[in-house]
Amino acid sequence: MDEQTRARRAACSEFVNGDGLVQPADLLASIGADVAPDNYGEGGVVADLERYVAELLGKPAAVFLPSGTMAQGATLRVHADRRTSRTVLWHPACHLENHEGQAHARLHQLIGRPVGDPDRLVTLADLDEVAEPIAALLLELPQRDLGGQLPSWDDLAAQAGWARERGAAVHLDGARLWEASAGYGRAPAEIAALFDTVYVSFYKGIGALPGCCVAGSATDVAQVREWRRRLGGTLFGLWPAAASALTLLPERLAEMPARLRHARAIAAAVAGVEGLRVVPDPPQAPMMHLLFEVPADRFTDNARRLAEESGIWTWAKPYPTGDPQVVRCELSVGRATCRLSPAVIADTLAALAR
């Protein structure tokens, strides 16, 4: 985003996506004044957060790490190191496959094997086509690149069982587990019970400073903690990000059912908007993808006009699709989204689709 676009966004008073424009001072305020610092990840608020997350997810232990890239690669390595295979199965849109510079292979000697179709969820039939031994099955809930889709609960349990029957670990990419919890209408611990290890993020959805946790057995978590140090993640003080997460997590998690209701109300409100489609419809989590039947340059012009004339910020630019006449945007329903009525959002999206 260039400086001119940043200035345009800063001048807006309303935001369609997520929590809107969050100022650094607001994030720093989430730390609190009476935080007990850690010392290289031990004690203080870091230990408090780890205990809280372990209990929230129904696991014996949890460890705080500064990034999901570090957390998931290390966790999958731990699973592979105690098995004969180094192959990990995941959806073709998996974050480790597409957004981490192949760190899983170059740092951890893991073999990522995409299964299924990029345009739909993984199925049990996809897994049944895999004959080779595997170290782990990674499932993402919800599947972000599919607009936040969730497999049925029975399918999810069957896929986890398929992996365990083959001696493999089951790992959850739960960067948006909080949203999945609302979608399933089940507590995070009930979802986490299907998995050996669970990664959760604190800046996505929760809106805290960057950081994450991995929860699982005491043995798995202890090994991930050692890899955190080896990978340079055990900073002298991890307390700012941990304190922010511990402050915001309870209240933001409690908001997720209302965010899901708002997402579905938005989808219903835009049902008659020409040139606009919601994926999935209705939303299965407090997020969705929006497909606009306009070229990218026209979308960008419309978004700029909305920002300058109405003070409503939408997106700086859309994502391309396979059709040059159709573009895609991701709408994550956050606090800023919930401040706008579904009717206002529908009018705004209709203006983007013109």
Name the strands in the sheet holding 327-332, side by side, starting at the edge strand that comes first in the sequence: 276-279, 287-292, 327-332, 319-320
Q: Please check whether residues 278 and 171 belong to one and the same domain.
A: no
Please indicate, yes or no, if residue 264 is contained in any of the structural domains.
no
What's the average model confidence in pLDDT over 300-307? 98
Please indicate, yes or no, if residue 69 is contained in any of the structural domains.
yes
Q: Please check whether residues 37 and 58 belong to one and the same domain.
A: yes
**Domain termination site, one of 194, 218, 248:** 248
Query: In the prediction, which pLDDT does 146 show?
Result: 98
In this structure, how many other beta carbons lie within 10 angstroms of the beta carbon of residue 129? 9
Please indicate, yes or no, if residue 202 is contained in any of the structural domains.
yes
Cα separation values, 111 from 44, 76, 87, Å? 37, 10, 5
240-287 tens-digit pLDDT: 999 999 999 999 999 999 999 999 999 999 998 999 999 999 999 999
204-246 tens-digit pLDDT: 999 999 999 999 999 999 999 999 999 999 999 999 999 999 9
CATH number, domain of 293, equals: 3.90.1150.10
Please indicate, yes or no, if residue 262 is contained in any of the structural domains.
no
Q: Please check whether residues 289 and 340 belong to one and the same domain.
A: yes
pLDDT band at 341 (very low <50, low <70, confident <90, very high): very high
Distance CA 110, CA 301 (A): 44
CB-based contacts of 205, cutoff 8 Å, min separation 6: 176, 178, 179, 252, 256, 286, 332, 334
Q: Do 241 and 209 meet the contact criterion of CB atoms below 8 Å apart?
A: yes
Distance CA 149, CA 142 (A): 5
**Domain termination site, one of 216, 248, 280:** 248
What's the average model confidence in pLDDT over 50-59? 98
Q: Please check whether residues 178 and 67 belong to one and the same domain.
A: yes
Helix (H) or strand (E) holding 200: strand 197-201
Q: Please check whether residues 232 and 179 belong to one and the same domain.
A: yes
Please indicate, yes or no, if residue 254 is contained in any of the structural domains.
no
| Domain carrying residue 292 | 3-21+270-352
Q: Please check whether residues 241 and 212 belong to one and the same domain.
A: yes
Q: In Å, how far from its chain's centre is CA 281?
A: 19
Q: Please check whether residues 206 and 280 belong to one and the same domain.
A: no
Residue 30, pLDDT > 90, answer: yes
Query: In the prediction, which pLDDT does 118 show?
Result: 97
Tally of structural domains, the chain: 2
Length of the chain: 354
- pTM for this entry: 0.97
Q: DSSP letters along 129-147, please?
A: T--S--SEEEEESSBGGGT
Output the six-digit token pair for 157: 């349990």
Q: Please check whether residues 39 and 156 belong to one and the same domain.
A: yes
CATH number, domain of 134, equals: 3.40.640.10
Query: In the prediction, which pLDDT does 270 show?
Result: 97
Please indicate, yes or no, if residue 255 is contained in any of the structural domains.
no
Residue 303, pLDDT > 90, answer: yes
Please indicate, yes or no, if residue 257 is contained in any of the structural domains.
no
What's the average model confidence in pLDDT over 152-158? 98
Q: Please check whether residues 72 and 203 belong to one and the same domain.
A: yes
Q: Please check whether residues 127 and 191 belong to one and the same domain.
A: yes
Q: Express the helix, strand and coil content of the chain in percent, nearest 5 each.
A: 45, 20, 35
57-68 tens-digit pLDDT: 999 999 999 999
Query: In the prediction, which pLDDT does 1 show?
Result: 85
Q: Please check whether residues 16 and 37 belong to one and the same domain.
A: no
Residue 318, pLDDT > 90, answer: yes
Please indicate, yes or no, if residue 256 is contained in any of the structural domains.
no
What's the average model confidence in pLDDT over 183-199? 98
Provide the mean pLDDT of the chain: 97
71-123 tens-digit pLDDT: 999 999 999 999 999 999 999 999 999 999 999 999 999 999 999 999 999 99
Q: Which string of b and e fits 200-235 if b means at least 16 CB within 10 Å?
A: bbbbbbbbbbbbbbbbbeeebbebbbebbeebebbe
**Beta-bridge mates of residue 279:** 289
Name the strands in the sheet holding 169-174, side by side, starting at the edge strand that comes first in the sequence: 61-65, 212-216, 197-201, 169-174, 136-140, 87-90, 111-114
Q: Please check whether residues 176 and 53 belong to one and the same domain.
A: yes
